[in-house]
Amino acid sequence: MKHEDVPMEKIKVGKRHRTDHGDIEALAANIREMGLLQPIGLDRYYQLIFGERRLLACQILNWEKMPCVILDLESVLAGEYAENEFRKQFSPSERAAIGKAIEQDLGKRQGQRTELKANCPEVGQTRDIVAKRAGFESGKTFERAKTVTLKGAPELIAAMDSGKVSIDAAAKIATQPKAEQKRIVQMPKDEQRQVVKQIRKTKADQEADERRARDIYLFRGLHDAVKFIAEFTETPADTWPGISRVSAWTFPENLDRALDFLVRLRKAHPNAIRKPEAVG
């Protein structure tokens, strides 16, 4: 990791997901007055990692060169930079951008030989490894920070980066419309905490409703099917001709699979007799 003043024409900006850049004119005015307090981030090929708003503002100011921090993503992934230092030097949104860049780099190298093979995580571990290297406590925190950078209004991202709003709370606020996000960020701390609590509750209620609907569809259906078979009154000798008459040719195959599952289900049933939870 090194600092370098890079000519504007050398900086490459790829496809960006963010379309709402906020008030760039105001940011440019602030940079004109205060100077650029934080450099932008590039990879070793001068591809932009983070700081697009700062770059746009400095372009308005007709800067010829841009103060940049140059990151070697492979070295970050290999753990050559201390995660604690990343927390100190970069904001949550910048660390999220670094993590996303590492993920994209890993995706490009998937299936290829690399000197970093020993350091490249297996599928399922990628998020946690990348998150740790980028200075996050966990993969979940990394995902929440990414959600804010993708869906959050500039005011919300700024509040998260300054520590005014926690990453977890910011991720919840980012689920709301942009105008509502701005309103929540401007609230007094106590009111803001109550709003975030309500957003969490609403989401939890929605997930509970979805889980209940799934349970009724799946497990009530399974119960009814087993009950129907248990109370079936036709003899086996009469049943097979009946199955043929309705052209249910896959019945034997499905029967074998059903019996296998029911045997496994019976073995997995706990020894203690418990009353099933009502779902009807």
DSSP the chain: -EEEEEEGGG-B----S------HHHHHHHHHHH--SS-EEEETT-BEEE-HHHHHHHHHTT-SEEEEEEE-HHHHHTT-S-HHHHHHHS-HHHHHHHHHHHHHHHHHTTTS--TTTTTSPPTTTHHHHHHHHTT-SSHHHHHHHHHHHHH--HHHHHHHHHTSS-HHHHHHHTTS-HHHHHHHHTS-HHHHHHHHHHHHHHHHHHHHHHHHHHHIIIIIHHHHHHHHHHT--S-HHHHHHHHHHTT-TTHHHHHHHHHHHHHHHHHHS-SS--PPPP--
Confidence bin at 210 (pLDDT 50/70/90): confident
Q: Is the pLDDT of residue 116 over 50?
A: no
Q: State whether CATH 3.90.1530.10 applies to domain 2-202.
A: yes
pLDDT of residue 208: 82
Strands 40-43 and 2-7: unpaired
Low-confidence winner among 53-67, 149-163, 202-216 (lowest mean pLDDT): 202-216
Residue type, 156: L
Is the pLDDT assigned to residue 280 strictly greater than 70? no
Report CA 246 to chain centroid distance, whole Å. 48
* pLDDT of 123 strictly over 50: no
Beta bridge partners of 3: 69
Mean pLDDT of 116-131: 63
User: How confident is the model at residue 136, as a pLDDT?
Assistant: 92
Q: Given this model, what pLDDT does residue 17 score?
A: 58
Whether the per-residue pLDDT at 1 is higher than 90: the answer is: no
Residue 86 has pLDDT above 70, yes or no: yes
The answer on pLDDT for 241 being more than 60 is yes
Q: Quick one: tokens of 125?
A: 């571990």
Q: What is the pLDDT of residue 109?
A: 59
What pLDDT is stored for residue 258 in this prediction? 93
Tens of pLDDT, residues 247-266? 888 999 999 999 999 988 88
Residue 211's pLDDT is what? 86
Does residue 119 register a pLDDT over 70?
Answer: no
pLDDT band at 79 (very low <50, low <70, confident <90, very high): confident
pLDDT score at 104: 82
**Domain residues of the chain, as ranges?**
2-202
Asked whether residue 121 carries a pLDDT value surpassing 70, the answer given is: no
Q: What percent of the chain has pLDDT over 70?
A: 88
Query: What pLDDT is attached to residue 279?
Result: 52
Predicted pLDDT at 19: 61
Average per-residue pLDDT for the chain: 85
